[in-house]
Amino acid sequence: MDKKFLERVIDALRHGESLPAEWARFLFPPEKREAELVYDGKEREEEILADIMSVPLQPVSTFGLGTGWHNKLIFGDNLQAMKTLLQMKEAGELRNADGTSGVRLVYIDPPFATKKEFRGSHDEQAYQDRITGAAFLEFLRHRLVMLRELLSEDGSIYVHLDGKKAHYVKVLMDEVFGEQNFMNEIAWCYATGGASRDRFSRKHDTILFYAKNARQKLFNVQKEREYYDKPFFNEQKDEQGRYYADVIMKDYWRIPAVINVSKERTGYPTQKPELLLERIIRASSNEGDLVLDAFAGSGTTCIAAEKLSRRWIAVDCGKLSIYTIQKRLLHLSGALDGMRRQVGPAAFTLYNAGLYDFASLRKLPWQDWRFFALQLFGCKDEPHQIAGLQLDGKLKGSSVLVFNHDELAGKRIDEETVRDLHVAIGNQIGKRFFMIAPRGSFDFQQDYLDFDGVRYYALRIPYSIINELHTRSFTALEQPRDEGAINATVDAVGFDFIRPPRVAWLASARKTTGGTGREAVLRIRSFASTTRTHGVDVAGGLETFAMLMLDLDYDGEVFDLDKFYLANDLQRASWEVPIPVDSIGKQVMAVFIDIYGNESREIIPRNKFGLLSGGPARTVRNRRQHAA
Ligand SMILES: C[S@@+](CC[C@H](N)C(=O)[O-])C[C@H]1O[C@@H](n2cnc3c(N)ncnc32)[C@H](O)[C@@H]1O
């Protein structure tokens, strides 16, 4: 770095000016790389890894029996969830069939940038596109760094993209994984969709395949059949008399896309074909290995992994995705066991990561509560004693006490308690001390109390955002209100507790328009939700309603998604949902979801719609077990 440049930097900093993004490469020169992608807001890898908060996994429901490993379906922002998975890897809890640590295979199909509306001049539009472009790249880069850490040393990653962003992401992946670990750019070719007249029709997606270590990676050679007009060298004929050869698979794959009439179609936009995932899974993993999809969508990866006897972890921040996957798994057919008998899915557990149910947390045995409480506030589980007092962990180097509300039932933490604590240990704990307890156990409102220069923080569950403890402000999860937004990027930070929205609804039946038959109708009359943003409770009405999901013949145990309605469509239909009478079973389960991912559930018996009880025969579902 020359002296003149250095002076310019110092001068700019002195005057409080922000430094141009282009200077980054001089200030932080890339080490062994030839090229680097420079854009505004690019963080250093060390910062990314250190900054991300881990969020504990709260089990919601378990499907299937069995001890030991359960496949994991995680609702939450993938970045935070991956930090938690990384801690599991470090604790030896993520292992492949042969015992190697980490996940063997990652497939991700991230949303292709955001579609933020922007009203303004052409120049402003172009500027906005650049900004969202850089934000998208950084969003993805954070995930790629985490995924690299999660992979086993012989693992591989496949990133699904389209032609618009693939070249940028290739450069980023060269940085994150090393250019020498680039394996293939796979073109997934399909024929469906519209055609262009002003250029060649875009009929392929790009999948970038990298190994964590090119030399060590696991790769099972795949073959494909090629047909020929004439026989040549050593050829064979099939039953139809065509000449063929089984050759080593190339990097362009012709696989039909999922269309409206496809058997595997779930209705989830952007669903990818199972065959595509099966090919990837066969090539880069073995039976019993761990496969991770951090942008799970409709769960194609889970289904393909099930069929090929791999274990899986899937993360998505959309409720629609979670319930689509749950349904798809529970109705899974076609998976074969060792005896080639059809079986249902292996045991799996649905977890919340970042949005928690406080009521069920309170019921946890003390040790589990203690663990959860420490994780929630990012504390190290490090039991230690000071002046004979048993403490639980460390946060930023200071001691943490998790209040044992079981043992000390009825005992409250007031200013006097903290003063006594200070007298006992105040001179041995440095400047800060943290106390974690259920909100109701604290008898004072302040975030902290000071005694002789020592600050005693009250970390309350549910909810404590003490800004100075967190490097970022918390942002809530976002659920889509229209179809276009289902595939938007979501970047949520922090945690929250479920606050079921309040819904008033009306069930009725009426004549079908123009017909002689009858239809049931569910009408939403009002909707109210609350969330906490930047430490403040915010109340909202129908504008915070995201979607309604229905299980039309609820079996009293498991919500089995049949239909979903997005808020914007419902609004156009005056908040009414017509339901064909003969699709309704004995009872309907309605799940109302707000834009933050909170849900409210209602069981509506058939006769509430003014229909005779009874209803059509229940659909036959797979065997399943459900434990709360
Ligand atoms: C293109 S779709 C994946 C489709 C999937 N491959 C399939 O076959 O159905 C992308 C998914 O990423 C999810 N998503 C976006 N941002 C996320 C985040 N930060 N954490 C977890 N999931 C996210 C969206 O909810 C969406 O379901």
SS in 3 state form for 168-229?
Answer: HHHHHHHHHHCHHHEEEEEEEECCCCCCCCCCCCCCEEEEEEEECCCCCCCCCCCEEEEEEC
To test the ligand 1 pocket, which listed residue (317, 324, 352, 593) has its Cβ within 8 A of the most ligand atoms?
317
**Cα–Cα distances in Å, from 444 out to 371, 383, 415?**
25, 26, 7
Distance 25 CA to ligand 1 centre (A): 32
Supply the residue whose CA is at minimum distance from atom 27 of ligand 1.
297
Mean pLDDT along residues 147-165? 95
Distance 489 CA to ligand 1 centre (A): 8
State the average pLDDT for the chain: 87
End-to-end CA distance of the chain: 61
Residue 517 confidence (pLDDT): 84
d(CA 190, CA 207): 14
Band (440; pLDDT cuts 50, 70, 90): confident
d(CA 116, CA 22): 26
Reduced to 3 states (helix: H, G, I; strand: E, B; else coil), residue 381 is strand
In the predicted model, is pLDDT for residue 529 greater than 90? yes
Mean pLDDT along residues 212-229? 94
Structure tokens at 139: 């969003």
Residue 534 confidence (pLDDT): 63
CA atoms within 13 A on the CB side of 340: 0
Structure tokens at 457: 């923080």
Enumerate long-range contacts of 338-346, CB under 8 Å, 24 or more apart. 344/64, 344/622, 344/623, 344/624, 345/63, 345/64, 345/71, 345/306, 345/622, 346/64, 346/66, 346/70, 346/71, 346/306, 346/311
Mean pLDDT along residues 438-455? 90
d(CA 278, CA 224): 14
- Which residue's entry shows tokens 């099939």? 238
Q: Which region among 120-129, 204-213, 382-391, 585-594 has the lowest average model confidence (pLDDT)?
A: 120-129
In the predicted model, is pLDDT for residue 148 greater than 50? yes
Dihedral sign, CA of 483, 487, 489, 492? positive
Distance 159 CA to ligand 1 centre (A): 12
Query: What percentage of the chain has pLDDT greater than the value 90?
Result: 58
To test the ligand 1 pocket, which listed residue (321, 325, 479) has its Cβ within 8 A of the most ligand atoms?
321
In the predicted model, is pLDDT for residue 471 greater than 70? no
Band (495; pLDDT cuts 50, 70, 90): confident
**Cα–Cα distances in Å, from 499 out to 77, 80, 538, 561?**
18, 21, 12, 22
Q: Is 77 in the pocket of ligand 1 (CB under 6 A)?
A: yes
Mean pLDDT along residues 537-558? 92
d(CA 19, CA 10): 10
Ligand 1 atom closest to the CA of 492, numbered from 1:
19
Residue 509's CB is within 10 A of a number of other CB atoms, namely 16
Q: Is 80 in the pocket of ligand 1 (CB under 6 A)?
A: no
Residue of 45, 64, 99 lying closest to 350 (CA atoms): 64
Residue type, 26: F
Band (628; pLDDT cuts 50, 70, 90): very low
Q: Is 295 in the pocket of ligand 1 (CB under 6 A)?
A: yes
Q: Is 56 in the pocket of ligand 1 (CB under 6 A)?
A: no
Q: Which region among 55-59, 209-213, 231-235, 478-482 has the lowest average model confidence (pLDDT)?
A: 231-235
Distance 297 CA to ligand 1 centre (A): 5
Reduced to 3 states (helix: H, G, I; strand: E, B; else coil), residue 103 is strand
Distance 283 CA to ligand 1 centre (A): 23
Distance 324 CA to ligand 1 centre (A): 12
Band (196; pLDDT cuts 50, 70, 90): very high
Residue 614's CB is within 10 A of a number of other CB atoms, namely 10
CB 512 within 8 A of CB 518: yes
Q: Is 273 in the pocket of ligand 1 (CB under 6 A)?
A: no
Ligand 1 atom closest to the CA of 277, numbered from 1:
8
Question: How many helices (H) and strands (E) are present in the chain, helices listed first?
Answer: 13, 32
Q: Is 321 in the pocket of ligand 1 (CB under 6 A)?
A: yes
Distance 487 CA to ligand 1 centre (A): 6
Residue type, 271: Q
In the predicted model, is pLDDT for residue 199 greater than 60? yes
Q: Is 315 in the pocket of ligand 1 (CB under 6 A)?
A: yes
d(CA 137, CA 37): 10
Mean pLDDT along residues 506-522? 88
d(CA 56, CA 53): 10
In the predicted model, is pLDDT for residue 624 greater than 60? no
Supply the residue whose CA is at minimum distance from atom 3 of ligand 1.
297
Mean pLDDT along residues 567-595? 94
Say which DSSP state 282 is in: H
CB 460 within 8 A of CB 437: yes
Distance 313 CA to ligand 1 centre (A): 14
Q: Is 111 in the pocket of ligand 1 (CB under 6 A)?
A: yes
Supply the residue whose CA is at minimum distance from atom 26 of ligand 1.
297
Enumerate long-range contacts of 526-529, CB under 8 Å, 24 or more apart. 526/502, 527/501, 527/502, 527/503, 527/592, 527/594, 528/501, 528/502, 528/503, 529/499, 529/501, 529/502, 529/594, 529/595, 529/596, 529/598
Residue 483 confidence (pLDDT): 81
Ligand 1 atom closest to the CA of 295, numbered from 1:
12
Query: Which uninterrupted H or E stretch holds 113?
Result: none
Q: Is 598 in the pocket of ligand 1 (CB under 6 A)?
A: no
Distance 276 CA to ligand 1 centre (A): 17
Q: Is 316 in the pocket of ligand 1 (CB under 6 A)?
A: yes
Distance 270 CA to ligand 1 centre (A): 9
CB 600 within 8 A of CB 557: no
Supply the residue whose CA is at minimum distance from atom 12 of ligand 1.
295
Dihedral sign, CA of 351, 354, 357, 359? positive
Supply the residue whose CA is at minimum distance from atom 13 of ligand 1.
295
CB 490 within 8 A of CB 296: no
Distance 346 CA to ligand 1 centre (A): 23
Q: Is 270 in the pocket of ligand 1 (CB under 6 A)?
A: yes
Ligand 1 atom closest to the CA of 490, numbered from 1:
16
Distance 451 CA to ligand 1 centre (A): 48
pTM of the model: 0.86
**Cα–Cα distances in Å, from 197 out to 102, 187, 191, 484, 603?**
47, 22, 15, 25, 51
Q: Is 276 in the pocket of ligand 1 (CB under 6 A)?
A: no
In the predicted model, is pLDDT for residue 215 greater than 60? yes
Ligand 1 atom closest to the CA of 321, numbered from 1:
27
In the predicted model, is pLDDT for residue 331 greater than 80? yes
d(CA 382, CA 392): 6
Q: Is 172 in the pocket of ligand 1 (CB under 6 A)?
A: no
Residue 617 confidence (pLDDT): 41
CB 441 within 8 A of CB 434: no
Residue 233's CB is within 10 A of a number of other CB atoms, namely 5
Distance 514 CA to ligand 1 centre (A): 40
Band (338; pLDDT cuts 50, 70, 90): low
Distance 271 CA to ligand 1 centre (A): 10
Band (339; pLDDT cuts 50, 70, 90): low
How big, in percent rounded to 5, are the helix, strand and coil portions of the chain? 25, 30, 40
Q: Which region among 51-60, 231-240, 375-384 has the lowest average model confidence (pLDDT)?
A: 231-240
Residue 116 confidence (pLDDT): 46
Ligand 1 atom closest to the CA of 298, numbered from 1:
9
- Pick 190 or 18 by higher pLDDT: 190
